């Protein structure tokens, strides 16, 4: 079965294609190539217990479970869909703690893995519940504010860089993680330079 992912309505099943004469049954329609159109075989199914998603950790665990059942790698799923390779791996990273912010990515990932569409819908409804809960907590001030990226021309120590890198990576913000990783490299080089100067002073003394 070929489907087109509907980015405007992630909470419902993608609309079925209209039948057109010409192509043999089950083949992609001509003139409709693209990263969001791909072959889908609904060969992955979860049990009701596995679909019981009470927390964000449960949600992240089920993404990893679906990938495992599919027999694919995250890179192979990315190749089938419009998801960036790094984003696909980030969705199922064991170090991830935050809810994925882009529901379209989650939808593409699940359909790319071949999960049954009724179960895709159920998982996406769970995403909607968690996203709403997060917005409510953010509005009430219960959520801890996200760490800010380092300002330019401000020296930041190695320990602080490591701490912030762990936080933003756990939150799934790869852009900020890259920023902090660069700062960490600079801080390590600066620390090494200080140790080198200190060692030379000891030798000369």
Whether residue 49 is contained in a domain is answered as: yes
End residue of a domain, out of 84, 113, 140: 140
Question: For the chain, percent helix, then strand, then coil, each to nearest 5?
Answer: 55, 5, 45
User: Which residues 6+ apart lie within 8 Å of 142 measured at CB?
Assistant: none
Are 94 and 68 spatial neighbours (Cβ–Cβ below 8 Å)? no
- Same domain as 128, residue 52: yes
Residue-wise pLDDT tens digits, 37-64: 555 566 888 999 999 999 999 999 999 9
The pLDDT assigned to 176 comes to 76
The pLDDT assigned to 120 comes to 95
The pLDDT assigned to 41 comes to 62
- Same domain as 180, residue 126: no
pTM: 0.54
Domain count, the chain: 2
Regions of the chain with pLDDT less than 70: 1-42, 141-156, 170-172, 194-205
CA trace torsion 89, 90, 91, 92 (10° rounding): 60
The pLDDT assigned to 205 comes to 57
Are 59 and 99 spatial neighbours (Cβ–Cβ below 8 Å)? yes
- Same domain as 170, residue 132: no
The pLDDT assigned to 191 comes to 73
The pLDDT assigned to 24 comes to 47
The pLDDT assigned to 3 comes to 53
Whether residue 16 is contained in a domain is answered as: no
Encoded tokens for 80: 């089938």
Whether residue 66 is contained in a domain is answered as: yes
Q: Domain range holding 192?
A: 158-204
- Same domain as 164, residue 136: no
Whether residue 29 is contained in a domain is answered as: no
The pLDDT assigned to 119 comes to 94
């Amino acid at each position: 079965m070929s489907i087109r992912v509907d980015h405007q309505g992630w909470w419902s099943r993608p609309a079925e294609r209209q039948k057109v004469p010409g192509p043999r049954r089950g083949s992609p329609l001509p003139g409709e190539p693209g990263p969001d159109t791909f072959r889908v075989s609904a060969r992955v199914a979860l049990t009701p217990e596995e679909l019981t998603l009470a927390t964000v950790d449960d949600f992240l665990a089920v993404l990893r479970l679906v990938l495992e059942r599919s027999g694919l790698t995250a890179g192979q799923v990315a190749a089938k869909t419009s998801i960036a390779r790094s984003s696909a791996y980030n969705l199922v990273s064991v170090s991830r703690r935050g809810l994925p912010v882009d529901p379209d990515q989650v939808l593409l990932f699940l359909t790319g893995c071949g999960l049954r569409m009724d179960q895709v819908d159920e998982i996406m409804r769970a995403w909607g519940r968690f996203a709403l809960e997060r917005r409510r907590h953010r509005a009430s001030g219960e959520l801890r504010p996200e760490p800010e990226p380092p300002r330019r021309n401000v020296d930041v120590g190695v320990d602080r860089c490591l701490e912030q890198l762990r936080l933003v990576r756990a939150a799934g913000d790869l852009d900020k993680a890259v920023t902090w990783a660069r700062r960490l490299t600079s801080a390590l080089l600066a620390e090494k330079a200080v140790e080198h100067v200190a060692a030379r002073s000891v030798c000369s003394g």
